[in-house]
A and B are shown apart, each in its own frame.
Chain A
Amino acid sequence: MTDPSINALAQTASLGTQTMTGSQIIWAALVREGVRIVFGYPGGAIMPAYDALPQFPELRHVLTRHEQGAAHMADGYARASGKVGVAVATSGPGATNLVTGIANAMLDSIPVVFITGQVGSRLLGTDAFQEVDITGVTLPITKHNFLVTRAEDIAPAIHKAFYIARSGRPGPVVVDITKDAQQKSASVTWNDAPVRLPGYRPEYHPRDEDYALALAMIREARQPIIFCGHGVVEANATGTLIDFVKKTDIPVAETLLGLGGFPATDSHSLGMMGMHGEEWVNTAIQDADLIIALGMRFDDRVTGNLQTYAAKAKKIHVELDPAEVNKIVKVDLALIGDAREILAHLLPDVPRQKLPDWWAQIDRNRGAAAVRDIIELPDAGRLHAAHVIHDLWRLTEGKALVVTDVGQHQMWEAQYYKHDHARRLLTSGGLGTMGFALPAAIGAKLACPDEEVWAIVGDGGIQMTQAELQTARQDSVKINVAIINNGFLGMVRQWQEFFHEGRYVCTPITSPDYVRLAEAHGLLGLRVTRRDEVAAAVAAARASPVATVIDFRVEQEDSVYPMVATGSDLADMILRPLAFDGEGTPAPTSQHNPIYQTGKDRS
């Protein structure tokens, strides 16, 4: 290894055998894995390692304000870059503060290596100060984890951790290193030989007979549909998928984490499926005679009632993880392996065809869906979240890297910000972790300094991790934070409105003055209360050299439509109620909902 950015210590580390302290080994091993940035927070059990950190100037350390922030930053870094993210914390409370972030990475299959300090090996099991059995705690939420008690075991453990984190279906790996292992010295022999783990098989390839079956099913189908899941992004399969779709004319529906895996503005893209997908997308799924599901796991948020789900469709599941096959939905054929490899293998033999009848049927249903028209809502001086996001999409020409939190704004973003590229929407899909957006956006910006990064976050979620604004300040990370401030824990409020007769229990939430908060952090703060102020605020944020927070005061009781209620059939959606009857008078049953007031709804 002769990377010029590597300093002398790490250079010599590449020259065969050498004696170093465990602390030095940690950082040298990270440098050898290509790591240039780590997110972390020091403390007693990891102090020896931190003490050695300045000897590795090629490593940038970002001090966060909470270990959860470090975990989400490493996660956002990994999602944006496709590389392995790294977060570091001390034992006990430092390690447990990582737990939410570890679970978040696990449920979305994100490659992150977590390094935690641990009490001295002789104290293990004694309930020593700040001792927590973090390998035990994280056992069900990691792809794998290691407890390292000897200096000589550190380098191999870190090398294996990176390999496991990024290979196959990616995921988080924890390496817990005792304090004495950091302090002792060991001779390390660096080698780049492939990792040998007797029981670990990250790679699979479909059998020839399965490819033949898949081709027969594709040739037979009259109403096929492709699902683009997160696996398409992880496999870098976008280009191959585009070719596949061009040739076969098959419509594509995306999962939340698949958005951007296929270009949203491509005419073959139908849009997001599932609970808050467009109605015509879900209808197309219910009408389809073949589903080709690429790298997705039939989460309950995309299927609705399983009894009636896509009953007419044969199903081909293209998936890297055999344990996802037949877990939720019984499929007719599984192609186990890498999505890009499988698409590329099928491509020469799939029919070059047009599906005019199928497309005509899908297009007939498009008009019925109610999501889109609010883009053209007369704003009447009000501010709707959908307007904000739609305007943001136009003003950034759809090119921003957007990180969303969890809630209504997350769904509106998925509906209104059209992503044409993979890794340009980062969101917590599997765990649905409020507080994710701000730290993940910081990590994403550090991974992609040339991208324009926007965090879109609710007034609930921002208050969970807002301390990281100061991290953005201290480390000069230029991000923009759009707070969709509706005075409620909006998504929960919406469920209360729909399913709990409007009892808003514990969902009204107050906020600090975000403009002054931003200023207190040494950042730029702006407030927007009317639609005609959006463009100027976005322009000011883009022009500002420091991170900028915009407090968008949106309609308070707006809801995300359409919606599949839990347990309902997929195409049985709650649509935006009509505000006007045929004559243009407000419908008597409608309660206050700003979105009612549109002429568009009449059609």
Chain B
Amino acid sequence: MISGDGTNGSGTSNGRPLRTFVAYVEDQPGVLNRIASLFRRRGYNIASLNVGRTHEPGTSRLTMVVEADETTACLLEANLYKLVNVISVDDITNLATVVRDLALVKVRAVGNDRADVLQIGELFRARVVDVSDETMTFEMTGTQDKIVDLLARLRPFGIVEMVQTGAIAMTRGAESRASSVAHRPSILPPPP
């Protein structure tokens, strides 16, 4: 289970700190396989992973939420850089970011429950995207903890099905932190 403060990608998972990385990779077969293999081999725990196209052709953008302390984060970044197809990596954990998950929730809603369910959805600004005689399907965008909250409210009615994406993240402000321009890993903070 993941919780976040809603403005950046930090949080904890089972008491371990979570860190959010954004990476640009070459859009080539097997790249995801390489990243997954690296994480498995080095024992990094992925809380969520999202991959998708970017505005730049030939590159994909990954958002990864990983259990890692400061040292592990440095090593993880350096190890990602060793993959030839990884163009850039940014640890955006401590930056001001917008982080979003998307969830679809199909919930039982019959008789009197329909109004209550609808009201809860409205409260969370979840959109109704499908309705059947017995169910309603909500689309909910937000941080992970908002989605968890919504689920908790809907659970008593009976959740039929639910699916969610991994987090996607972007830094706030004008500049583009995670750029696809190759740069070097930010290793080691200088000693005190």
Contact = CB atoms under 8 A, between A and B. Distances in A.
Interface of A: 135-136, 139-140, 143-144, 147, 164, 197-201, 204, 209-210, 213, 321-323, 325-327, 330, 332-334, 336
Among B37, B182, B191, the most chain A Cβ lie within 10 Å of the Cβ of B191
A199 B30 contact: no
Given A198-B87, A199-B85, 13 more contacts: A139-B33, A139-B34, A140-B41, A164-B84, A198-B182, A199-B86, A199-B182, A201-B182, A323-B82, A325-B187, A326-B71, A334-B187, A334-B188
Contacts, number: 67
B101 interface: no
B75 A199 contact: no
Nearest to A333: B191
Interface string B86-102: 11100000000000000
Contacts of A327: 75
A323 B87 CA distance: 16
Given A139-B33, A198-B26, A323-B79, A209 B182 contact: no
B83 interface: yes
Contacts of A143: 82, 84
B82 to A, nearest CB: 6
Interface string B167-192: 00000000000001010110110110
Contacts of A332: 191
A140 B37 contact: yes
16 contacts: A136-B33, A139-B30, A139-B33, A147-B30, A164-B84, A198-B180, A199-B84, A199-B87, A200-B84, A210-B190, A213-B190, A323-B78, A325-B187, A326-B74, A327-B75, A330-B71
Contact of A201 (B25, B26, B85, B184): B184
B81 interface: yes
Nearest to B187: A322
Contacts of A147: 30
Contact of B81 (A139, A201, A209): A201
Contact of B84 (A136, A197, A209): A197
B187 A336 contact: yes
A321 B78 CA distance: 8
B126 to A, nearest CB: 39
B30 A135 contact: yes
Contacts of B33: 136, 139
Contacts of A139: 30, 33-34, 37
A320 B170 CA distance: 31
Interface string B27-70: 00010011001100100000000000000000000000000000
Nearest to B33: A139
Contacts of A200: 84
A204 B84 CA distance: 15
B84 A144 contact: yes
B29 to A, nearest CB: 8
A389 B182 CA distance: 50
B191 A213 contact: yes
A321 B187 contact: no
B190 A326 contact: no
A300 to B, nearest CB: 16
Contacts of B85: 199
Contacts of B34: 139
B162 to A, nearest CB: 33
Contacts of A201: 81, 182, 184
Nearest to A200: B84
A199 B191 contact: no
Nearest to A210: B190
B181 to A, nearest CB: 9
Nearest to A334: B188
B79 A199 contact: no
B22 to A, nearest CB: 14
A323 B75 CA distance: 5
Contact of A209 (B41, B82, B187, B190): B190
Contact of B83 (A199, A210, A334, A336): A199
Contacts of B188: 325-326, 333-334
Contacts of A334: 187-188
A199 B30 CA distance: 15
The 8 A-B residue pairs with the shortest CB-CB distance in the complex, in nearest-first order: A323-B78, A322-B78, A199-B87, A144-B84, A322-B187, A323-B79, A332-B191, A200-B84
A326 B75 contact: yes
A199 B185 contact: no
Contacts of A333: 188, 190-191
Contacts of B79: 323
B46 to A, nearest CB: 17
Contacts of A197: 84
A278 to B, nearest CB: 31
Contacts of B71: 326, 330
A325 B78 contact: yes
